[in-house]
Amino acid sequence: MLLGIDTSGAVSTAVARGELTGPAPEILQVRSDERSRHHDEVLLDLIDQTLQAAGVERTELTGVVVGRGPGPFTGLRVGLVSARSIAAVLGVPLHGLSSLDALAHQALAALGPAPEGPVSVGVALDARRREVYHARYRRESTGEVTRTAEPAVHTPADVADELTACDVLVGSGTGIYPELLPATMDLVHVDAGHLILAAAALSARGEDLSSTEPMYLREPDAAKPTARKSALGR
């Protein structure tokens, strides 16, 4: 049994039967909460709800899959720390992957079976500060998916041409900047079920998913002071 956790935007949890190796895992339950800035208040309860709905005990889990972002600093930290804690307590493997990879997998699944030719997918997530986190993908007619542009952060105007050139464009950034980044389908946040399925697909290709370091892509808003300040303001 696998537990999936993503807090790159909304909070999403999923439980799946199976492992990352072998046949594709079967998604049993998915739960999401789209309230922003409340990740620490809802995540653990959402995990319990998902496990209960799936009829699975925590002790039955054999692995945890977590989204590494990119996303808000606090939200990502809540998800990653929780995933690490659960995996450590249960003594099970912990796997991490980009949340952008999961949303691309979700978009391609919604699109349906591979057509005659390749399909390109652009993903744009709200990065605040009037920027978006983005990446691009390509699915060949064989079904193989590769990332053609690595995750990065830019203004919508800077990446509008390359993202709108994709056959499919999804993500929360499309709803905030519809004039520059018009969505081709209504997919905004990561579904933790697709996080698990994307991890399984990457694992089957031999990808290393051992890192669970957060994918911030830029420095935090609150930076450490570079010089000591006097308490008297001098």
Q: Give me the DSSP letters along 46-81.
A: HHHHHHHHHT--GGG--EEEEE--SS-HHHHHHHHH
Domains 2-99+190-204 and 112-176 share a fold: yes
Sketch the domain layout of the chain as residue ranges: 2-99+190-204, 112-176
190: its two tokens: 């990561």
* Residue 232 clears pLDDT 60, i.e. is over it: no
DSSP letters, 80-131, are HHHHHHHHHHHT--EEEE-HHHHHHHHHHHHH-S--SS-EEEEEEEE-STT-
> What is the pLDDT confidence band of residue 117, given thresholds at 50, 70 and 90?
confident
Q: What is the pLDDT of residues 30-49, one digit of tens each?
A: 999 986 566 777 899 999 99
Q: Please tell me whether residue 142 adopts helix, strand or coil conformation.
A: coil
Q: Which residues contact 38 (CB under 8 A, 6 or more apart)?
A: 11
Using the predicted structure, report yes or no on whether residue 225 has a pLDDT greater than 60: no
Which residues are paired to 124 by β-bridges?
Answer: 134
End-to-end CA distance of the chain: 59
> Which of 68, 166, 75 is CA-nearest to residue 123?
166
pLDDT for the residue numbered 172: 94
Q: What is the pTM of this model?
A: 0.89
Higher-pLDDT residue of 90, 224: 90
Task: Give tens-digit pLDDT for 150-183.
Answer: 999 999 999 999 999 999 999 999 999 999 999 9
The structural architecture, per CATH, of the domain 112-176 is: 2-Layer Sandwich (3.30)
pLDDT at 219 over 90: no
Choosing among 3.40.50.720, 3.40.50.11540, 3.30.420.40, 3.60.21.10, the CATH entry for 2-99+190-204 is 3.30.420.40
Cα–Cα distance for residue pair 226/232, rounded to 1 Å: 18
